[in-house]
Chains A and B, each alone.
Chain A
Amino acid sequence: MINFKEFTKVGIVGYGAYVPYFRLPTAVVAEKQGKDTAVVDSLCVRTKSVAEKDEDSLTMAVEASLQALAVAAVEPGKIGACFVGSESFPYAVKPIGTILAEILGIGNDYFCADLQFACKAGTAGMQIVAAMIESGMIDYGLAVGADKSQAKPNDALEFTASSAASAYILGNKKSEWLACLEGTLSYSSDTPDFWRRNGEHFPEHAGRFTGEPAYFRHVLSSSQNFLKATKTKPINYNWAVFHSPNKKFPEKAAKILGFTPEQLKYSLLVEEIGNPYSASSLVSLANVLDNSKTNEKIFLTSYGSGAGSDSFSFKTFPALLEKRRFKQKLSETVFLSKAIDYSEYLKKMEIL
């Protein structure tokens, strides 16, 4: 049971998003897999982002976090927590959170853990940091979602599994808030729609089972519970973000809940970058923050296989317009990309 709590002390003070330079067109994947274009059309994903061979969830987390620090303009030593969510950690044992903290200069007095909950590990980190701030344990905390997502060659996931990272510094000083975090809750169940066994390089999934009983059950339940707990309706929000394994799922979830296509305008980067797993919802949120005005409400529900969803609402503050000038707009960098062919993709993903 969750006791829903309206946060009064938590806001985003800095944010960043990093999407690697390379793109693999889904048409190339379709050709290699011998699938016709109907498959590509149904996903509505044109290209997916591909990290370079020497990039991984840590290097991308660093890039995103440095942006967040630049926006926040906060002394790194004041950050009291560093939680990194991923499903492609370079180590099975040895946290990258401490490496990230070291690079950022956070010091030694901080809470830290690497988190795994498939694609919602990043938002789970945000919940933990928010709770610590609200309780007064820390003044600032960093939550990151980062993935160099794995997909088995010739599998359906190969079309969309991509790379990116997004970082959020939360803090308790209202004067520094770009947006306040109004509240959060989650919906979880033991639903094995997608998994990767220890020692295996590629994940497996249960095909069509990943739809209705997995993604939709959790995204809709968490969202509906959140709307009920906050006594709000979709019309009360300016923008909505849903985890995007493709374009169809978030559009369908939004429609069922009562959100309009206009509210998803900035949260469907999936068409260009694919699904960067733990970074997906957080990258979309960053794009929304890059484009929203002040005093606008943002609804977000992430999804992680296995399974669960985290729902949040944010309200933007005037400082957003000033402070986001310290990071480059995501929409400017995302389209500065280079298409690669399949063999280059295999090399960069170290499959070849």
Chain B
Amino acid sequence: MKVAVLSGYQTKFGELWDKSLKDLLAEASWEALKESGLTAKELQAVFVGNMLSAVTAGQNHLGAMMAEILGINVPCTRIEAACASGGLAIAQACLAIGSGKYDNALVVGAEKMTDLSSEEISFALMGAACQEEREAGLSFPGLYALLAQEYFRKFEATEDDLAWVAVKNHYHASLNPKAQFPFEITLDQVKKSSLVASPLRLLDCSPVSDGAAAVVLSSESFAQKKKIKTPFIVASAQAADSLSLTERESLLELKATRLAAEKAFKEAALEKKDIDLAELHDCFTIAEVLALEDLGFYKKGEGTLAAKKNETKLGGKLPVNPSGGLKACGHPVGATGVKQIVEICLQLLGRAGKRQTKEAKVGLSHNVGGTGGTVVVHIIKI
């Protein structure tokens, strides 16, 4: 596969009181289009990643909203896979371009979450879990806390081990003006933050955020005609698993991550050691630890060493989440998967400013829906 990323744009992530969902979709889309040099009329398809617009904005039918924003009549499709909506929108666009159906497509992911109270948004997010989990009174921190508890039991890991992930990601975010929390935090602050769902504390959890990100993708031949030097998506892999944690074969891994990663590396004809940087789905600190293991970068049970030893910090052997990740850059759920592609491309093009990974040629993105019911992995190369 070789799908060109002609351009990418991320809005500021955060509590964007004066921006509606439509404002965010429009900003990301128009900015990405501008950078690509294409006009709206040249677009052949639009894919929108979003999870919660019906609940947070009373708005369905986002495909038509995109048609309205851009003033176009080509196919515009909304994709939903919980927090993997953005990544899946990218994957669907890659499929469509790869099949030859379209020469180019705009992919935009957006979420407007801060108009709801914490209780309302927690409830809405549980739409990504199963009915029994909802009825049991679980929330997403609770679900990932169960994974953390199982991990601690098996591998004698500690809260400190998780806290290093948050510290690292905040350091990265302090170098990212688009991040929701562009400031560093200390291990002590993480350890003293309020307990949300044991062992996860407030600073182990990604925030509620507004934001959008967009990319313009095209076939290789289209990019060549336009004479634009671009990174290429060389692998796009998706895997599914049970909606519910109780149906999983093991709580020590996200099987869908492992399966998607295997397919992605095979498709790209690359190995783990070829990856120079990664944007992983750290909805909670434990999620980054599991991702590092399930993607094959670390042995099972050793993922906690990564942040502790600065191996996944900028300058380390595999920088992870240079954007600040979900924890510190923010997690507008539908936008995250697209933002990960934007960040990787910035890094590969040498345009990441103070958070630039040296000599980055290949990046990997990992986007998860729910507790691992959907996982999408992309590999991007320049």
Contacts and interface: CB of A to CB of B under 8 A. Distances in A.
Interface in A11-50: 36, 38-39
Contacts of B118: 207
A213 B18 contact: yes
B15 A208 contact: yes
Contact of B117 (A36, A207, A212, A213): A207
A209 interface: yes
B159 to A, nearest CB: 16
Interface string B188-208: 000001110000000000000
Most chain A beta-carbon neighbours within 10 Å: one of B15, B17, B194: B17
Interface string B1-37: 0000000000000010110000000000000000000
Nearest to A205: B117
A212 B17 contact: yes
A36 B192 CA distance: 11
A233 B320 CA distance: 47
A208 B114 contact: yes
Nearest to B114: A208
Contacts of A206: 117
Contacts of A213: 17-18
A39 B194 CA distance: 9
A182 to B, nearest CB: 34
A156 to B, nearest CB: 10
A36 B195 contact: yes
A208 B195 CA distance: 20
Interface string A181-214: 0000000000000000000000000111100110
- Interface of A, secondary structure class, is helix
A26 B17 CA distance: 30
B194 A36 contact: yes
Contacts of B114: 208-209
B138 to A, nearest CB: 18
Interface residues of A, number: 9
A43 to B, nearest CB: 14
Contacts of B193: 38
Contacts of B15: 208, 212
A339 B41 CA distance: 70
Interface in B316-341: none
A213 B18 CA distance: 8
A307 B114 CA distance: 19
Nearest to A214: B17
A8 B15 CA distance: 44
Given A207-B117, A208-B114, A38 B18 contact: no
A208 to B, nearest CB: 6
Interface string B97-132: 000000000000000001101100000000000000
A239 to B, nearest CB: 31
Contacts of B194: 36, 38-39
Nearest to B17: A213
Contacts of B17: 209, 212-213
Nearest to B208: A208
A206 B120 CA distance: 12
Contacts of B117: 206-207
A213 B15 CA distance: 10
Contacts of A212: 15, 17
Interface in B131-158: none
Contacts of A38: 193-194
A209 B195 CA distance: 24
A207 B15 CA distance: 12
Contacts of A207: 117-118
A207 B116 CA distance: 9
Interface in B273-302: none
Contacts of A209: 17, 114-115
A209 B121 CA distance: 14
A39 B117 CA distance: 17
A117 B304 CA distance: 54
Nearest to A206: B117
Contacts of B18: 213
Interface in B31-59: none
A102 to B, nearest CB: 44
B36 to A, nearest CB: 33
A213 to B, nearest CB: 4
Nearest to B120: A207
A70 B115 CA distance: 49
A106 to B, nearest CB: 44
A322 to B, nearest CB: 49
A38 B18 CA distance: 29
A212 B17 CA distance: 9
A209 B114 CA distance: 8
Interface in A206-241: 206-209, 212-213
Contacts of A208: 15, 114
A207 B118 CA distance: 8
Contacts of B115: 209
Nearest to A209: B17
A36 B15 CA distance: 25
A207 B121 CA distance: 12
Contacts of A36: 194-195
Given A38-B193, A207-B117, A212-B15, 12 more contacts: A36-B194, A36-B195, A38-B194, A39-B194, A206-B117, A207-B118, A208-B15, A208-B114, A209-B17, A209-B114, A209-B115, A213-B18
17 contacts: A36-B194, A36-B195, A38-B193, A38-B194, A39-B194, A206-B117, A207-B117, A207-B118, A208-B15, A208-B114, A209-B17, A209-B114, A209-B115, A212-B15, A212-B17, A213-B17, A213-B18
Interface of A: 36, 38-39, 206-209, 212-213
Nearest 6 interchain pairs by C-beta: A213-B17, A38-B194, A207-B117, A36-B194, A208-B15, A209-B17
